[in-house]
């Protein structure tokens, strides 16, 4: 896109006159590490750093122009390695205009807005729902983009991302790449931070899902009503066509009764009042058989996952695809066979003669309760859990998570999650405040997460189940400002554990019994 065409509405004439009117830019970037040849680098003031500190690096990487958030307007020139003069433009109104610039650039120069867009919000379940939608869409022959906690890309080619909902500059660039790769739809996680910080400004969602709301991020939002108010914003635009809402959630019920939402509302859940509802279901060691009733027809299917919450997530995915009217109801139901759990979500590991281990991302009181409740129905012996709470985050949920663990588990080990810049001892003290002295659960503390896992495994038997909660798929542990390489899975592999597609595989090693072939599909 031509630089003057992009900037003429916000640049003073004195600056415009000094610019090369033939200069073309290929992209807008707010992170210097992402700069490529002929990009425009936008240097904004951040919480801890100002982007102007990284101008020289951006120029070295190929930036052809730099916009700088500043108190005053002005222009200077830097000379790059090719002896070219690179304009560095300071603007007092840059922050207020940056999203408009991004939208204008990608609207004109690419087809980033041509794909149908599904937004999924909620405290828990976003990653699973978007993954299921992408997997089912691909099985239906519809190329689907995926964006969220676990990465972005066109399924199944997904690469790691830094945020659940990236800032708009990153998001639009990724959209453009997915469109060029053939994506027809995008299933996108929408976080409360992303909504509040206007990272989705200018996007038009065709359909949106509300999965649930429980305590999290109150360090940022203050209270649950403020948290809910932010989530609600996703459903208010008149352009939204369909709102798929969990009727089993109290906040979902409020959205269903909200007259300000003009989109067609479709409810899902286990309630008899749900539009998409489960009428019968049977939980097995590795799977769930379900019968459902929907506005498009009735169906029976099996998912090779456990947990009522996973079944609810599948209902949301069914709803998103059905309201599109692109495929028959039976085709959509058949596509359920393609879904697999998200990494770090109820992921199981086994070792002959040892306790089966489940790794899950559960890092809120509600998520921890859901996972422990599910495992409690399957364990023969003791149910154990190793977990911590994140530093510099919502401290109020720490005693709540400890209380959940004590109510549902027989053995508990408090350890580090991502302490960040907070004292780990202080975090664990907050967690312990939620414990009842009268409870008989064994409670241990081990600051080193790897040792916490090892020590807990050593006191359990093959009849027990161990849940390692909080980090899930993460490949790092953030301590004192540094991200150290770490994963729960790597710890288990080092102990001789193997990734298992289900708890039934663990039981196979333990009991050496034959398995029903259908349970292994």
Q: Are 444 and 455 in contact (CB under 8 A)?
A: yes
- What single string gives the DSSP state of each residue in 304-333? S--SHHHHHHHHHHHHHHHTTTSS-HHHHH
Summarize pLDDT for 167-176 with one digit per residue, the tens.
888 888 888 8
Query: Mean pLDDT throughout 356-378?
Result: 92
- DSSP β-bridge partners for residue 117: 186
Residue 206 near residue 184, CB atoms below 8 Å:
no
Under the banding of pLDDT at 50, 70 and 90, the label for residue 510 is: very low
pLDDT computed for residue 109 by the predictor? 55
Least confident of 182-191, 261-270, 507-516: 507-516
pLDDT above 70 (res 506): no
Beta carbons within 10 angstroms of residue 490's beta carbon: 12
Residues sharing a CB contact under 8 Å with residue 310, sequence separation 6 or more, in sequence order: 128, 288, 303, 341, 346
Token couple for 276: 């998409």
Question: Residue 85: which pLDDT band, with cuts at 50, 70 and 90?
Answer: very high
User: Can 3-107 and 347-511 be said to share one CATH topology?
Assistant: no
pLDDT mean across residues, the chain: 90
Query: For the chain, what are the domain ranges?
Result: 3-107, 111-338, 347-511
pLDDT of residue 507: 42
Give the pLDDT confidence score for residue 198 in this predicted structure.
83
| 32-68 tens-digit pLDDT | 999 999 999 999 998 778 999 999 999 999 999 999 9
pLDDT > 50? residue 517:
no
The residue among 107, 104, 102, 115 whose CA lies nearest residue 147 is 115
> CA nearest 362: which of 410, 409, 401?
401
Nearest residue to 232 (alpha-carbon basis) of 199, 208, 248, 201? 208
Least Cα distance to 268 among 214, 313, 322 occurs for: 313
CA distance 290 to 299: 8
pLDDT at 503: 45
Structure-token match 């510099």, residue found: 392
For the cut 50, the answer to whether the pLDDT of residue 210 exceeds it is yes
pLDDT digits over 264-323, tens only?
A: 999 999 999 999 999 999 987 678 999 999 999 999 999 988 889 999 999 999 999 999
Tokens of 80: 């790059």
Does pLDDT of 249 surpass 70? yes
Q: Give 348's contacts (C-beta < 8 A, 6+ positions apart).
A: 356, 357, 358, 359, 499, 500, 501, 502, 503, 505, 506
- DSSP label at 337? G
Spatial distance between the Cα atoms of 194 and 248, rounded to a whole number of angstroms: 25
Residues near 65 by Cβ (< 8 Å), separated by ≥ 6?
Answer: 3, 23, 25, 40, 41, 86, 87, 88, 89
Beta strands in 240-373 (DSSP E): 242-246, 264-269, 276-283, 288-294, 297-303, 347-350, 357-360
| Centroid of chain to Cα 216 | 14
Give yes or no for a contact between 313 and 321, defined as CB atoms under 8 angstroms apart. no
Could you tell me which CATH class the domain 111-338 is placed in? Answer: alpha beta
The model's pLDDT over 409-445, given as tens digits with 9 standing for 90+, comes to 999 999 999 999 999 999 999 999 999 988 888 999 9
Can you give the pLDDT at residue 139?
97
- What token pair was written down for 470? 């909080």
Q: Per-residue confidence at 360, pLDDT binned at 50, 70, 90?
A: very high
Query: Measured between alpha carbons, how far is 76 from 95 in angstroms, rounded to an integer?
Result: 19
CATH of domain 347-511: 3.90.190.20
Q: Say which range, 102-116, 140-154, 267-281, 366-380, has the weakest mean pLDDT.
A: 102-116
Output the pLDDT for position 112. 58
Question: Read out DSSP for 11-44?
Answer: S-HHHHTTS-TT-B--EEESSGGG--TTEEEEE-
pLDDT in tens, 104-117: 888 755 555 678 99
The whole-number pLDDT of residue 501 equals: 55
CA–CA separation, 63 and 180 (whole Å): 23
CATH 3.40.1190.10 describes domain 3-107: no
């Amino acid at each position: 896109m031509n630089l003057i065409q992009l900037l003429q509405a916000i640049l003073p004439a004195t600056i415009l006159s000094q610019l090369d009117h033939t200069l073309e830019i290929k992209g807008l970037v707010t992170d210097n590490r992402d700069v490529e040849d002929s990009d425009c680098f936008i240097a904004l003031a951040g919480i801890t750093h100002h982007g102007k500190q990284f101008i020289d690096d951006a120029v070295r990487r190929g930036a052809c122009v730099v916009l700088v958030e500043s108190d005053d307007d002005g222009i200077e020139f830097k000379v790059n390695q090719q002896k070219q003069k690179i304009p560095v433009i300071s603007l007092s109104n840059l922050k207020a205009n940056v999203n408009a610039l991004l939208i204008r650039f990608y609207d004109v120069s690419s087809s980033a807005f041509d794909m149908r867009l599904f937004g999924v919000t909620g405290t828990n379940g976003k990653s699973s729902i978007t993954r299921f939608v992408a997997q089912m869409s691909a099985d239906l022959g519809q190329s689907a983009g995926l964006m969220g906690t676990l990465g972005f890309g066109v399924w199944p080619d997904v690469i790691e991302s830094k945020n659940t909902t990236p800032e708009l500059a990153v998001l639009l660039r990724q959209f453009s790449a997915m469109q060029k790769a053939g994506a027809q739809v995008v299933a996108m996680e929408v976080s409360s931070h992303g909504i509040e910080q206007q990272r989705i400004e200018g996007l038009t969602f065709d359909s949106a899902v509300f999965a649930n709301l429980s305590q999290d991020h109150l360090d940022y939002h203050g209270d649950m009503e403020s948290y809910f108010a932010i989530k609600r914003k996703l459903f208010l635009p008149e352009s939204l066509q369909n709102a798929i809402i969990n009727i089993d959630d109290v906040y979902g019920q409020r959205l269903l009764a909200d007259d300000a939402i003009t989109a067609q509302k479709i409810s899902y859940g286990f309630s008899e009042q749900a539009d998409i509802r489960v009428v019968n279901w049977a939980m097995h060691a590795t799977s769930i058989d379900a019968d459902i009733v929907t506005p498009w027809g009735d169906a029976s299917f099996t998912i090779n996952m456990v947990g009522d919450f996973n079944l609810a997530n599948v209902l949301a995915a069914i709803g998103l695809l059905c309201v599109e009217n692109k495929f028959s109801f039976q085709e959509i139901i058949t596509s359920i066979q393609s879904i697999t759990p998200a990494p770090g979500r109820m992921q199981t590991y086994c070792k002959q003669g040892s306790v089966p281990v489940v790794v899950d991302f559960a890092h809120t009181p509600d998520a921890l309760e859901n996972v422990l409740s599910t495992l409690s129905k399957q364990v023969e012996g003791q149910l154990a859990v190793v977990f911590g709470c994140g530093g510099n985050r919502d401290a109020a949920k720490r005693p709540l998570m400890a209380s959940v663990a004590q109510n549902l588990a027989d053995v508990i080990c408090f350890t580090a999650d991502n302490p960040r810049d907070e004292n780990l001892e202080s975090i664990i003290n907050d967690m312990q405040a939620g414990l009842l002295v009268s409870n008989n659960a064994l409670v241990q503390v081990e600051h080193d997460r790897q040792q916490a896992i090892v020590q807990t495994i050593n006191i359990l038997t093959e009849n027990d189940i161990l849940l390692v909660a909080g980090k899930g798929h993460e490949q790092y542990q953030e301590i004192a400002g540094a991200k150290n390489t770490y994963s729960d899975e790597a710890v288990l592999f080092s102990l001789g554990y193997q990734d298992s597609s289900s708890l039934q595989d663990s039981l196979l090693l333990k009991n050496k019994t034959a398995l029903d072939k259908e349970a292994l599909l």
